[in-house]
A and B are shown apart, each in its own frame.
Chain A
Amino acid sequence: MSDLSTVARRAVEAATGAGASDAEAYVSREAGRTVRVHGGEVESLTAATQTGVGIRAWSGHRVGYAYGTDLSDSGVAAIAARAAEAAAVADEDEFASPPQPSEVEALAGLSDPSIAEWETPRAVDLALTVERTALESDPRLVGVEVAVYADSGEHVAIASSTGVAGEYESSSCYAYLQALAEGDGARETGLGFGLARGPRGLDPEAIGAEAAERALAMIGAGKPASRSCPVVLDETVAASFAGLIGGGLGAKAVQRGRSPFAGRLEEVVASEAFALHDDGRDPQGPASGPFDAEGVPRRRTALIEGGRLRSYLYDTYSANREGVSSTGSAARQGYRSLPSVAPSNLVVAPGTLSLEQLLAEAGEGVYVTDVAGLHSGVNPVTGVFSVGASGRIIRDGALAEPVREFTIAGELVAMLGAVSAAGAEPRWVPFGGSVSTPPLLVAEMAISGS
Chain B
Amino acid sequence: MSGPLDQAVAERALRRALANGGRFAEVFAERRRGQTLAIDEGRIESVQSGAEEGAGVRVVDGNTTYFAHVDGLDPADVERAADEAAAALRAERTEPRPLQVREATPLPIERQPEDVPAERKAELLRELDERARAKGGEIAQLNASYGEARREVTIANSDGLFTGDDRTRVRIGVQAVARRDATVETGAETLGAHRGFELLEDEPGQIAEQAAAKALTLLDAVPAPSGSMPVVVGGGFGGVLFHEMTGHGLEADHIQKGASVYVGKLGDRVAEPLLNAYDDGRLPGEWGSDAIDDEGQPTQKTQVIEDGRLTSYLYDRLTAERDGVASTGNGRRESFRDLPIPRMTNTYIAPGDATPEAMIAEVERGFYAVSFGGGQVDPATGDFVFGVSEGYLIENGRVTSPCRGATLIGNCLDALAAIDAVGDDFFMKTGICGKGGQKVPVGTGQGHVRVRAMTVGGTER
Contacts and interface: CB of A to CB of B under 8 A. Distances in A.
A373 B258 CA distance: 23
A446 B226 contact: yes
Interface in A94-127: 120
B71 A145 contact: no
Contact of B407 (A64, A146, A388, A404): A388
B40 to A, nearest CB: 7
A373 B47 contact: no
A49 B69 contact: yes
Contacts of B405: 379, 384-386, 409
A133 interface: no
Interface string A374-411: 01111101101111101000000000000011111111
Contact of A89 (B63, B122, B372): B122
B383 A388 contact: yes
B381 A41 contact: no
A104 B276 CA distance: 62
A49 B83 CA distance: 13
Interface residues of B, number: 80
A257 B381 contact: no
A258 interface: yes
B68 A48 contact: yes
A382 B44 contact: no
B373 A86 contact: no
Interface string A48-69: 1111100000000001111111
Nearest to B71: A69
A50 B87 CA distance: 19
Interface in A63-90: 63-70, 78-79, 82, 85-87, 89-90
Contacts of A378: 387
A388 B376 contact: yes
Interface in A1-50: 38, 41-50
A267 interface: no
Among B179, B254, B376, B385, find the residue whose CB has the most chain A CB atoms closer than 10 A: B385
A46 B67 contact: yes
Contact of A68 (B50, B65, B179, B406): B50
Q: Chain A contact residues (Cβ within 8 angstroms of B): what range?
A: 35 or more
B257 A89 contact: no
A409 B47 CA distance: 37
B374 interface: yes
Given A70-B51, A145-B380, A187-B261, A43 B44 contact: no
Nearest to A260: B184
A121 to B, nearest CB: 9
A404 B49 CA distance: 44
Contacts of A68: 50-52
A405 B69 contact: no
Contacts of B177: 257-258, 381
B67 A376 contact: no
Contacts of B88: 45, 120
B380 A187 contact: yes
Contacts of B141: 256-258
Interface in A400-426: 404-411
Contacts of B185: 382
Interface in A112-164: 120, 142-143, 145-146
A188 interface: yes
B133 to A, nearest CB: 14
Contacts of B41: 256
Interface in A274-301: none
Contact of A377 (B52, B339, B387): B387
A377 B51 contact: no
A388 B409 contact: yes
B140 interface: yes
A446 B457 CA distance: 9
B1 interface: no
A417 to B, nearest CB: 15
A448 B385 contact: no
A311 interface: no
B420 to A, nearest CB: 20
A336 interface: yes
Contact of B52 (A52, A178, A411): A52
Interface in B373-432: 373-376, 378, 380-381, 383-387, 389, 404-407, 409-411
Contact of B226 (A49, A145, A448): A448
B66 A45 contact: yes
Contacts of B355: none
A91 interface: yes
A66 B65 contact: no
B145 interface: no
A372 interface: yes
Given A49-B71, A384-B404, A448-B455, A188 B381 contact: yes
Which among B53, B54, B85, B405 has the highest number of chain A CB atoms within 10 Å?
Answer: B405
B65 A388 contact: no
Contacts of B45: 63, 90-91, 93
Contacts of A51: 71
Contacts of B121: 89
A79 B387 CA distance: 39
Given A41-B62, A50-B71, A373-B385, 17 more contacts: A41-B63, A45-B65, A49-B69, A50-B337, A51-B71, A91-B43, A145-B380, A187-B380, A188-B380, A336-B52, A376-B374, A384-B459, A405-B411, A409-B407, A446-B461, A448-B455, A449-B455
12 contacts: A43-B64, A46-B69, A47-B68, A65-B47, A67-B50, A69-B71, A89-B121, A180-B258, A187-B261, A336-B50, A384-B405, A448-B409
Interface of B: 37, 40-41, 43-54, 62-72, 84-85, 87-88, 118-119, 121-122, 140-141, 143, 177, 179, 184-186, 224, 226-228, 254, 257-259, 261, 337, 339, 372-376, 378, 380-381, 383-387, 389, 404-407, 409-411, 455-459, 461
What 9 pairs between A and B have smallest CB-CB spacing? Answer: A407-B457, A376-B387, A388-B385, A376-B374, A373-B385, A376-B373, A448-B457, A65-B48, A377-B387
